[in-house]
Amino acid sequence: MKQTIVDASQLELMDKVVVIKRVSKTVKGGRTMRFTALVVVGDGNGHVGAGLGKAVEIPEAIRKGKEDAMKHIVNVAMDENNSITHDFIGTYGSANVLLKKAPDGTGIIAGGPARIVCELAGIKNIRTKSLGSNNKQNVVLATIAGLSKLKSPEEVAKNRDKSVNEILA
């Protein structure tokens, strides 16, 4: 499946920091401390992305993470209930995230990292379950990988040479 490139400058993006970690490199003179920040950006209307920033100071790491996230924005296929179009399992590394379609009024039933991604993507009704690794970075990237591979009923109908009504029936 070919992914379309989304121009981040055309979107009004919100961002949230998922996790900030202090990392160190041991050198001859001791340890050098740095910070990594995992940032998720989204417009609340079907576009979301995640990025990792690394720097000596926290604000700089967050800024770099936001820039990286803007370069990796994907489209999310949603239905009329602001839920996903079908169930799917997103995978990244050893983290698997089960994404399940939910009826209107369900809300976002998800753990911390997956919840942030769903909120910023604009999804209002979804159930998720983190399977495998619970590493926050891998869970965020697995959720985005799953959301990016969702197909709308129009795409499925076109691929199968059928009408949308036949697919939804």
CATH class of segment(s) 77-168: alpha beta
Domain with CATH 3.30.230.10 in the chain: 77-168
**CATH number for the domain formed by residue range(s) 8-74:** 3.30.160.20
Report the pLDDT value the prediction gives residue 165, as an integer from 0 to 100: 85
pLDDT in tens for each of the 169 residues of the chain?
456 667 777 888 999 999 999 999 999 999 999 999 999 999 999 999 999 999 999 999 999 999 999 999 999 999 888 999 999 999 999 999 999 999 999 999 999 899 999 999 999 999 999 999 999 999 999 999 999 999 888 888 888 888 888 877 7
Task: State residue 70 phi and psi, 5-degree precision.
Answer: -65, -25
Cβ contact 83:125 at 8 Å: yes
User: What CA–CA distances, in Å, run from 116 to 28, 34, 38, 50?
Assistant: 40, 25, 12, 11
Rounded Cα distance, 130 and 158, in Å: 32
Q: Write down the pLDDT at residue 17.
A: 97
Q: Which has the closest alpha carbon to 117: 85, 139, 98?
A: 139
Predicted local confidence at residue 3, as pLDDT: 61
Query: What stretch(es) of the chain map to CATH 3.30.160.20?
Result: 8-74
End-to-end CA distance of the chain: 25
